[in-house]
Structure 1
Amino acid sequence: MDFSLLQYEVASRIATITLNRPEKRNALNGPLVAELQKAFGAAAADDAVKVIVLKGNGEAFCAGADLEYLQQLQQNTYEENLEDSRQLMRLFQQIYDLDKIVIAQVEGHAVAGGCGLVTVCDLSYAVPEAMLGYTEVKIGFIPALVAVFLVRKIGEGRSRELLLTGRLVTAEKAAADGLITAVVPAAEIKKKVAGIATSLCNDASANSLKATKKLIGTVLDLPIEQGLAHAATLNAATRGHEDCKRGIAAFLNKEKLVW
């Protein structure tokens, strides 16, 4: 599969998608967003892939929107800007709804739309030197799309602080707020993310991961009674799945099961 703005590889059931515009600090533009959609689509459709890692080449994870891209947006009509917004919307939703687990490996700053990518990943690990934040209000823009996901992830109060001030925060602060999963030293982050991805591949059922991710994304929208009823139906359906039968049999027989 050919890409010009990112790298895509699959090994040991892990697909690695690497933003590859280091000279532009991996800034987003229309073509890169389109390639990301294509890469995540390929990983989603590949039965050999169980976990996806998203990272960036160079000093930054992703610096947000490309400057040339921002200049072009000022010349667009409302309809053109709406369609452009919907393209990024589709990418965020694609990652958020993907049946497979997505891990962000953040080895540099993640700003604006770049921080949006981190927000919609299931797990995210950042080096201590990384700064994260949504700077849109500082250039007269709004963090519209990411707000939908951020409020769900860390709550209204902490979202207001990040989105309204537009300030960048340290990885430590981002972890304390629940924006990222953990802070990992630069010398260890590659091994850490690889270990988490491998553990998910070997120690957890693909069906269970898929169902659990879908459950997490659904229950917030439901009243507690409906949430519990929905959870009960998923519970019952999972019990009938072949993965559950294999898992219980291995547990009862005290066998080590590698998924």
Structure 2
Amino acid sequence: MAAAPQEHPLVLERSGAVARIRLDRPSLHNAFDAGLIATLTATLEQVGAESDIRAVVLEGSGASFSAGADLNWMRGMATASEAANREDALALARLMRTLDELPKPTIARVQGAAFGGGVGLVACCDIAIGVPEAKFGLTESKLGLLPAVISPYVIAAIGARQARRWFATAEIFDASTALQIGLLHQVVPATQLDEAVERQLALLLKAGPHAAAGAKHLVARVAASSDRDRMDADNADLIAMLRVSSEGQEGLSAFLDKRAPAWANKE
């Protein structure tokens, strides 16, 4: 186990092919400040570059997943210049993009409340599993602000129509609503949360490593494409490349031979 500096607590644990990153400021509901944003970004970049890591779980300590911005940090930024606020916002944008584009499948283990930037973290993960007691809110408009930096990821998760409501009202919503609008993929009792996460990890580790990691990039590219001819050509190129790749050849051979592929034995 490796831990970040204590002033910005974040715990990184590796177990086989899985890395678990835990926000560890329970007394502050795992709220962000500049230091935690920088540390989390660096930690994600680190595990993203590790070839033996095949999946990442993002979680929080204590009662909350993440309450978004730390109040003391917000107080400081309220008196800072517009230029300083812009640099601060760009740092948060880098964190969100790093998580969204991480070259590993990611799972958000949402054991409690997520507000503001915490919702952004959930939206950036490929799979999000929460408990019925979890609460969510894009509460920035109560402060005369908007969830601008996290908006691309939240809108991608819940859609523009839902985002227009929740961004404007700052209303708190529950886990069943989060499931309905697409922020969560699954809601399970707290006693079954770890089991549900492990089930998804097991599925990811049975998939081809490059295929599982590349799924998010395929989805993003297709969703952004407006040129159907180019999209068809790019997708044909991709499947052709995958079929002749070592991973594709092993996967197809294992299926035809009715055996487990080699990567399934390296969990």
1:154 and 1:177 in contact (8 A); partners too: yes
Provide the rounded CA distance (Å) in 2 between the counterparts of 1:59 and 1:120. 21
Structure 1 runs not aligned, ≥5 long:
none
SS at match of 1:61: strand
User: Is 1:204 the equivalent of 2:242?
Assistant: no
Structure 2 runs not aligned, ≥5 long:
none
In structure 1, the partner of 2:216 is 213
Q: Partner letter of residue 35 of structure 2?
A: P
User: Is 1:63 the equivalent of 2:62?
Assistant: no
Runs of 4+ aligned structure 1 residues displaced above 3 Å come to: none
1:211 and 1:234 in contact (8 A); partners too: no
Q: After TM superposition, give the deviation of residue 258 of structure 1 in Å.
A: 4.9
Provide the rounded CA distance (Å) in 2 between the counterparts of 1:172 and 1:255. 39
In structure 2, the partner of 1:21 is 25
User: Is 1:77 the equivalent of 2:81?
Assistant: yes
- Per the normalisation by structure 1, the TM-score is 0.96
In structure 1, the partner of 2:15 is 11
Provide the rounded CA distance (Å) in 2 between the counterparts of 1:7 and 1:60. 16
Identical pairs, percent: 32
Q: Partner letter of residue 125 of structure 1?
A: I
Deviates more, 1:104-113 or 1:156-165: 156-165
Q: After TM superposition, give the deviation of residue 159 of structure 1 in Å.
A: 1.2
In structure 1, the partner of 2:194 is 190
Q: 1:141 aligns with which of 123, 132, 145?
A: 145
1:1-259 correspondence to structure 2 within 5 Å: 1-3=2-4, 4=6, 5-201=9-205, 203-223=206-226, 224-259=228-263
Deviates more, 1:110-119 or 1:158-167: 158-167
SS at match of 1:215: helix
Q: Partner letter of residue 231 of structure 2?
A: G
Residues 202-255 of structure 1: per-residue CA shift (max 9 Å, x gap) = x10111112221111111111133322222221111112100000111111111
Q: After TM superposition, give the deviation of residue 111 of structure 1 in Å.
A: 0.4
Provide the rounded CA distance (Å) in 2 between the counterparts of 1:230 and 1:165. 40
Q: Please tell me the root mean square deviation across aligned C-alpha atoms, in Å.
A: 1.2
1:51 and 1:102 in contact (8 A); partners too: yes
1:14 and 1:53 in contact (8 A); partners too: yes
Q: Partner letter of residue 33 of structure 1?
A: I
SS at match of 2:12: strand
2:250 and 2:262 in contact (8 A); partners too: no
2:138 and 2:166 in contact (8 A); partners too: yes
Q: After TM superposition, give the deviation of residue 195 of structure 1 in Å.
A: 2.1
Deviates more, 1:209-218 or 1:92-101: 209-218
Provide the rounded CA distance (Å) in 2 between the counterparts of 1:114 and 1:210. 23
Provide the rounded CA distance (Å) in 2 between the counterparts of 1:8 and 1:34. 14
Q: After TM superposition, give the deviation of residue 167 of structure 1 in Å.
A: 0.8
Residues 90-119 of structure 1: per-residue CA shift (max 9 Å, x gap) = 010001111100100000000011111101
- Per the normalisation by structure 2, the TM-score is 0.94
Q: Partner letter of residue 28 of structure 1?
A: F
Residues 130-157 of structure 1: per-residue CA shift (max 9 Å, x gap) = 0112100011111002211222222211
Provide the rounded CA distance (Å) in 2 between the counterparts of 1:60 and 1:117. 13
